[in-house]
Amino acid sequence: MPYSLHVAHLYGDLMNTYGDIGNILVLNYYAKKINVTLTSEVISLDQTFDPTNFDLALFGGGQDYEQVIVSKDIQSKKAALTSFIEDNGPVLAICGGYQLLGQYYIGANGQRIEGISALPHYTKSQDHNRFIGDIDIKNEETGEVYVGFENHNGVTYLGAGERPLGKVLTGHGNNGQDQTEGAIYKNTFCSYFHGPILARNHNLAKRILLLALKRKYPQADFSQAEATLAQID
């Protein structure tokens, strides 16, 4: 039986400042290794997000200017995206995408940029400071260490029901205070890691890919696919 996954690249024409499209390329690389066809589609301004049409969603980062534009448009997609998330649809949200899935983001100029409150976190800004540099975190559930590069003015605080993607080993993370980085809620994964994150953290890429496959094909046996992926860097 041929397997396929359809990816929604949310605002991929606007929120791709740090090459987050690379995350789709990485997923496609691993999908091919297990004979899965992966296709992607940009869902942007004035377009409808149909949660029944996608198996996975990616939401990249952008500058405050783009975030203001996206913030206004994404309100029309709020119900559909929230439904997808609550139904365990896998989502990878980076930086600005991470912030917009939450309650709000206070931009560098003090402007409040509304999120969709699909997740309970919120983000404030720092005065004349950014968190920039290499970062290492450890996922305390899997024991996996993720490495990356952070560059953000925002400081994010997680809410009820969220757990961090990892505990900060080196670097700043969500806010430089509580040693958390990113967020996990159901099958939604958020992070400030650019680079893109999946290019340097293959275990996370494989995890997200398998989550999408098992959700779409709940009766299928993916043990061989898991074994194959485990042998591939």
Q: Residues at the annotated binding site for substrate? A: 130
**Three-class secondary structure of residue 54 per DSSP:** coil
Euclidean distance between CA atoms 101 and 96, whole angstroms: 9
**Do residues 13 and 42 touch, judged by C-beta distance below 8 A?**
yes
**Three-class secondary structure of residue 171 per DSSP:** coil
Q: Hey, which residues does 136 pair with through a beta bridge?
A: 147, 170
**Ramachandran area for residue 184 (φ above 0: left; ψ -120 to 50: alpha; else beta):** beta
**Do residues 41 and 7 touch, judged by C-beta distance below 8 A?**
yes
Euclidean distance between CA atoms 179 and 75, whole angstroms: 31
- Whether omega for the bond prior to residue 196 falls within 30 degrees of 0, making it cis, is yes
Which residues does the annotation mark as catalytic?
Answer: 95, 194
Q: Residues at the annotated binding site? A: 130
Q: What angle do CA 39, 19, 24 make, to 5 degrees?
A: 20
